[in-house]
Structure 1
Amino acid sequence: MNEEELNEMIIKCPVCSVEGKAKSIMKELEIPHFGKVLETSIQCPECGFKHSDIIALEQNDPAKYVLEINKNTLTVRVVRSQSATVSIPEVGIKVEPGPKSEGYVSNVEGILNRFEDATKKALMLFDDEESQINGKNTLNQIQELKKGNGTATLIILDPFGQSKIVSDSAEILEIPEEELNELKTGFSHIEDS
């Protein structure tokens, strides 16, 4: 990544409202094979608030990225925009964008770690027998994939084409119009009546 511009300032914390404590950093970066992005982060030492995001600065055509997860693809670089849906159908996991969605740059193993953390949180929230059985099964499947055992399919659907799986093994497909219309973007829309 080539760093182009850095903007750093001390601001009022958006959570605890303490003036002059939170550090806000914005960097414009050029990511090879992807394009220009704005990386933002806010950290407050007073209350511990942290927030980071990756915002693509270039809009592309909607795209569906597909990659087989196996022991050889765990290190493949993945850029997920805040508007992308990420799923692993064989494991039964799908994360859709919402108002608080964040973009990130990671690798396949990092995405599996995110899903693992979310599954562990769900296991603590839902204590009925069916949820526990399903959650533990999902957790086991994720952990096996992280160990390089078995295969599954990573799918990223991005209505703005700002995500990317950086690998020659990844397929890049068009999203059919009817599927595109059903995708969530994480942004609120106001419709005219």
Structure 2
Amino acid sequence: MNEMEINEMIIKCPVCSVEGVAKSIMKEIEIPHFGKVLETTIQCPECGFKHSDVIALEQNDPAKYTIEINKNNLSIRVVRSQSATVLIPEIGIKVEPGPKSEGYVTNVEGILTRFEDAVKKALKLFDDDTSQSNGKKTLNEIQELKKGNETATLIILDPFGQSNIVSDSVEISEIPEEELHTLKTGFSHIEE
């Protein structure tokens, strides 16, 4: 990754409102096989608030990225833009973007860990027998994928083509028009 420009400022914390303590860092970075992104971080030593985001600076054609998850590719780099939907159909898990959706750079194992953490939170929230049974089954399937004992399909659907799975094995295809219209982007639209 080539860093292009770094901008650091001390700002008023957006959470505790203390003036002149929060550090805001913005970096414009060129990511190979992806393009320019803006990486932003805000940290407040006063209250512990921390927020990070990766924002793609280039818009591309809508794209669907597909790769088989297996023991040999858990370390493949994954770039997920704030507008992308991530799913593993064999397990029945899907994360769609919302208004507070953040972009991130991770790897295939990191995607699985994010799903694993979400399922663990859901298991604490929903205590009925069906939710517990389904949650534990899903959690076990994710953990088997992380151990390399199973295979499944990782799909990223990005209406702005700003995501990527950096691998020669990734299949990149167009998103059919009818499917594109049903995708969430995480952005609010105001009708006049």
Q: Tell me if TM exceeds 0.5.
A: yes
TM-score, scaled relative to structure 1: 0.98
Q: In the alignment, residue 73 of structure 2 is paired with which amino acid?
A: T
Take 1:113 and 1:40, find their aligned partners in 2: how far apart are those partners? 22
1:173 aligns with 173
Runs of 5+ in structure 2 lacking a partner?
none
1:56 aligns with 56
Superposition deviation, residue 48 in structure 1: 1.1
Superposition deviation, residue 16 in structure 1: 1.0
Q: In the alignment, residue 109 of structure 1 is paired with which amino acid?
A: E
1:111 aligns with 111
1:68 aligns with 68
SS at 1:83 equivalent: coil
| Mapping of residues 72-83 of structure 1, within 5 Å | 72-83=72-83
| Mapping of residues 151-170 of structure 1, within 5 Å | 151-170=151-170
Q: In the alignment, residue 52 of structure 1 is paired with which amino acid?
A: S
1:144 aligns with 144
TM-score, scaled relative to structure 2: 0.99
Alpha-carbon RMSD across the aligned residues, in angstroms, is: 0.6
1:127 aligns with 127
- The percentage of counterpart residues that share the same residue type is 85
Q: In the alignment, residue 44 of structure 1 is paired with which amino acid?
A: C
Superposition deviation, residue 35 in structure 1: 0.5
| Mapping of residues 7-46 of structure 1, within 5 Å | 7-46=7-46
Take 1:12 and 1:134, find their aligned partners in 2: how far apart are those partners? 44
Runs of 5+ in structure 1 lacking a partner?
none
Q: Does 1:92 align with 2:98?
A: no
Q: In the alignment, residue 110 of structure 2 is paired with which amino acid?
A: G
Take 2:40 and 2:136, find their aligned partners in 1: how far apart are those partners? 35
Q: Provide, for residues 162-184 of structure 1, a one-character-per-residue CA deviation record: whole Å limited to 9, x for no partner.
A: 00000010000100000000000
Superposition deviation, residue 73 in structure 1: 1.1
SS at 1:86 equivalent: strand
Take 1:149 and 1:77, find their aligned partners in 2: how far apart are those partners? 20
**Displaced runs of 4 or more, over 6 A:** none
2:5 aligns with 5
Take 2:99 and 2:14, find their aligned partners in 1: how far apart are those partners? 16
SS at 2:181 equivalent: helix
Superposition deviation, residue 24 in structure 1: 0.5
